[in-house]
Amino acid sequence: DGGITQSPKYLFRKEGQNVTLSCEQNLNHDAMYWYRQDPGQGLRLIYYSQIVNDFQKGDIAEGYSVSREKKESFPLTVTSAQKNPTAFYLCASTYGGNTEAFFGQGTRLTVV
Amino acid sequence: QKEVEQDPGPLSVPEGAIVSLNCTYSNSAFQYFMWYRQYSRKGPELLMYTYSSGNKEDGRFTAQVDKSSKYISLFIRDSQPSDSATYLCAMVHGNNRLAFGKGNQVVVIP
Instruction: Identify the contact set of chain A against chain B, taking CB-CB distances under 8 A.
Output: 4, 6, 31, 33, 35, 40-43, 45, 48, 50, 88, 90, 92, 94, 97-106, 108
Per the CB < 8 Å rule, is A45 touching B101? no
Residues of A in contact with B50 (CB under 8 A): none
Mapped onto helix, strand or coil, the DSSP state of residue B81 is helix
pLDDT score for B2: 75
How do the pLDDT tens digits run along chain A, 112 residues long?
A: 679 999 999 999 888 899 999 999 999 999 999 999 998 778 999 999 999 999 999 999 999 999 999 999 999 999 998 989 999 999 999 887 656 889 999 999 998 8
- Identify which of B31, B44, B51 has the shortest CB distance to residue A103: B44
Q: Which residue of A has its CA nearest to B95?
A: A97
Per the CB < 8 Å rule, is B41 touching A108? yes
Alpha-carbon gap, residue B25 to A102, rounded angstroms? 22
Signed CA dihedral, B45, B76, B90, A28: sign only? positive
What mean pLDDT, rounded, does chain B reach? 91
